[in-house]
Structure 1
Amino acid sequence: MSTHTSTWTVTGMTCGHCVASVSEEIAEIDGVESVDVTLESGEVVVTSTTPLERVSVEAAVREAGYELTS
């Protein structure tokens, strides 16, 4: 099975709790294997079994209370 890596940018995160919230919500998307969030840059790297649709990632980030910028 192949894996896909996608990189996104999230704004509004200010602490470890923010990182945990974003990670948890994105991890609930079907096929997501890992989520690596860098607080300082807002970069989120997601490894999944299938390519992720922006709408799914954006919904998860909004559920956590933040905005997806790219």
Structure 2
Amino acid sequence: MAKTTIDVVGMTCGHCKAAVEGALNNLNGVSEASVSLEDNNVEVNYDDTVTDRAKMTEAIEDQGYDVK
């Protein structure tokens, strides 16, 4: 398992948190995603043999948020 922190622009509320966490948690290979609205990021635990940062970025951007 691997862990990464992704900076996300535009998250401001509980709906934003739920959208980003849901998108990542539904991604094959992600075991846990946890958004911090205060830090404007999401910590992701994932299997790096199944998924990668590019796929996670795409999942976040598909929800309407930008990744730094």
TM-score under structure 2 normalisation? 0.88
Name 1:6's counterpart in structure 2.
4
Question: How far apart, CA to CA, are the structure 2 residues paired with 1:59 and 1:49?
Answer: 17
- Structure 1, residues 11-32: CA drift from partner, whole Å, max 9, x if none? 1011010000000111122110
Unaligned runs of 5+ in 1: none
Question: How far apart, CA to CA, are the structure 2 residues paired with 1:21 and 1:5?
Answer: 20
Question: How far apart, CA to CA, are the structure 2 residues paired with 1:22 and 1:65?
Answer: 9
The CA deviation at 1:50 is: 2.0
Aligned-pair Cα RMSD in Å: 1.3
Identity level (%): 33
Name 2:23's counterpart in structure 1.
25
Question: How far apart, CA to CA, are the structure 2 residues paired with 1:29 and 1:16?
Answer: 20
Unaligned runs of 5+ in 2: none
Name 1:61's counterpart in structure 2.
60
| Residues paired across the two proteins, number | 67
TM-score under structure 1 normalisation? 0.85
Give the letter for the 1:54 counterpart: R
